[in-house]
């Protein structure tokens, strides 16, 4: 067996007998300072160990070709009617989707951006509209021309008032004119205004009666409106509840539409029957018209991860628009890329990186207002957006995938119908933010280094201080070195 003496010979920490050591006041003070220093440095190291740190790197975006990007938006257009408001998407790969309705909702709003009713269902305005064949057949003027004064009077005189709001320069208005006049003559012969009095077929020239057309929120020509005496309110400043007709525009279709409106009304009383469902056309050719001239558009679209455009404009396959009267002013309540980030996830992001997420919805709360009556006619509002993908990775899972962007906006005079354009371009690079984990062994090593280092430095300082004091005492006693 190894003797005890041999084991003691490998002792690194040989002890000095206590009787041979001497305590000093300076050593005690230095020991207290060293102990406090150790505690302070230990606290700092513990805080550093518990603090979350991150590293940021820029890598190539590895999104697959089949991956789509979600664009969410909520925008209010005070001067764009929901009747013709269209959300279109296009990109550099040739994708061109017009009038997206499946994931988009529209609500009529007033000039103060307040909603004026339930969701507006405009339906499709892109269907092919049937017209009469163009010929040289003479036709008489059957429709009654209305102005601002006569309109209010006849709208409360006849149970049914069908009005064609048109513009003489409009191609579609000129296509409709022969059929409208022929249908008006037929209806007048079958349902005389003096002896029957259940319906009046009329027309309004919007180039002459600008205020009347604006009051009825006419933005596309021709617009066929159906006014019902039972639902119109004389005291409501002429703002009547009415419907729009979107069906075929040949003579037979127009006559059938008008007769369907007349059928539920009793001749002797000229009152609409209580069965309101019978007054509805059997098809989706007649829908409620917007009660105000503005529209709030909200929802989302999915686009490919390539440069493209999101366009809000007035669109119809059978209407014309006066570009000088179009106003694409809008207020953006929300515009973001990617999935919606919940408040909890956002708070976790702020815990890691307080600055992250500040450009996630850069356009939110911004207003872009123009006035076409001033010198800003035919103004297209463009937003140029550059998008950067950011991934935040924690030690255990991917916390979030968000898209931040920069935006620059401008007003552009256009020769065509004004639009609100959002040009977006995605960066081929992405930002990768990862959470760094500190090992416990590294923490213990640093703690030991703190203890050993402070102890060693304190010992050196104590030795210097002790020797200095001894030398001072010798000098005072006059001893030589």
Task: Please give the positions annotated as active site.
Answer: 170
Nearest to 390 by CA among 347, 424, 437, 339: 339
- Other C-beta atoms closer than 10 Å to the C-beta of 26 total 13
Contact 168, 207 (CB under 8 A): yes
The residue length of the chain stands at 481
Bin 217: left if φ > 0, else alpha if -120 < ψ < 50, else beta: left
316: exposed, middle or buried (C-beta count within 10 Å: 0-12, 13-18, 19+)?
buried
Backbone angles phi, psi at 305, to 5 degrees: -85, 60
Alpha carbon distance 41, 53 (integer Å): 19
Alpha carbon distance 309, 421 (integer Å): 7
């609500």: which residue's tokens? 107
Nearest to 332 by CA among 358, 302, 296: 296
- Other C-beta atoms closer than 10 Å to the C-beta of 135 total 8
Return the bridge partners of 421, or none: 311, 382
Nearest to 171 by CA among 220, 243, 226, 99: 220
Query: Which token pair is 56?
Result: 């940021």
Angle of helix 25-50 relative to helix 440-477, nearest 10 degrees? Answer: 160
């Amino acid at each position: 067996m190894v003797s005890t003496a041999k084991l003691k010979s490998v002792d690194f920490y040989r002890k000095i007998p206590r009787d041979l050591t001497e305590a000093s006041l300076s050593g005690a003070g230095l020991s207290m300072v060293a102990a406090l220093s150790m505690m302070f440095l230990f606290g700092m190291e513990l805080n550093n160990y518990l603090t979350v740190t991150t590293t940021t790197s820029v890598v190539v975006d590895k999104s697959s070709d089949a991956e789509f990007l979600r664009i969410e938006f909520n925008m209010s257009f005070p001067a764009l009617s929901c009747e013709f408001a269209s959300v279109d998407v296009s990109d550099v790969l040739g994708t061109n989707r017009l009038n997206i309705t499946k994931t988009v909702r529209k609500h009529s709003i007033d000039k103060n951006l307040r909603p004026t009713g339930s969701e507006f269902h405009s339906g499709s305005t892109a269907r092919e509209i049937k017209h009469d064949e163009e010929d040289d057949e003479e036709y008489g003027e059957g429709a009654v021309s209305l102005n601002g004064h006569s309109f209010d009077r006849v709208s409360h005189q006849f149970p049914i008032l069908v009005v064609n709001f048109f513009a003489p320069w409009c191609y579609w208005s000129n296509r409709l004119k022969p059929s409208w006049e022929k249908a008006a003559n037929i209806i007048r012969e079958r349902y005389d205004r003096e002896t029957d009095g259940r319906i009046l077929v009329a027309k309004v020239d919007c180039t002459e009666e600008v205020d009347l057309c604006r009051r009825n929120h006419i933005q596309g020509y021709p617009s066929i409106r159906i006014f019902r005496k039972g639902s119109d309110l004389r005291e409501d400043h002429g703002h009547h509840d009415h419907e729009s007709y979107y069906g075929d525009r040949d003579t037979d279709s127009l006559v059938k539409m008008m007769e369907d409106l007349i059928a539920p009304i009793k001749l002797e009383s000229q009152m609409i029957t209580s069965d309101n469902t019978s007054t509805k056309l059997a098809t989706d050719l007649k829908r409620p018209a917007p009660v105000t001239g503005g529209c709030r558009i909200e929802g989302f679209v999915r686009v490919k991860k390539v440069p493209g455009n999101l366009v809000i404009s007035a669109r119809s396959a059978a209407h014309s628009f006066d570009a000088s009267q179009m106003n694409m002013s809008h207020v953006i309540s929300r515009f973001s890329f990617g999935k919606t980030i919940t408040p909890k996830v956002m708070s976790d992001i702020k815990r890691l990186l307080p600055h992250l997420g500040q450009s996630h919805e850069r356009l939110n709360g911004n207003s872009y207002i123009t006035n076409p009556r001033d010198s800003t006619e035919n103004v297209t509002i463009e937003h140029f957006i550059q998008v950067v993908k950011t991934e935040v990775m924690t030690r255990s899972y991917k916390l979030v995938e968000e898209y931040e962007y920069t935006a620059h906006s401008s007003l552009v005079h256009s020769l065509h119908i004004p639009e609100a354009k959002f040009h977006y371009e995605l960066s081929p690079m992405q930002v990768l933010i990862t959470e760094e984990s500190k090992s416990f062994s590294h923490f213990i090593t640093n703690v030991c280094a703190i203890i050993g280092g402070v102890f060693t430095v304190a010992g050196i300082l104590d030795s210097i201080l002790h020797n200095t004091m001894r030398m001072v005492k010798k000098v005072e006693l006059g001893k030589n070195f």
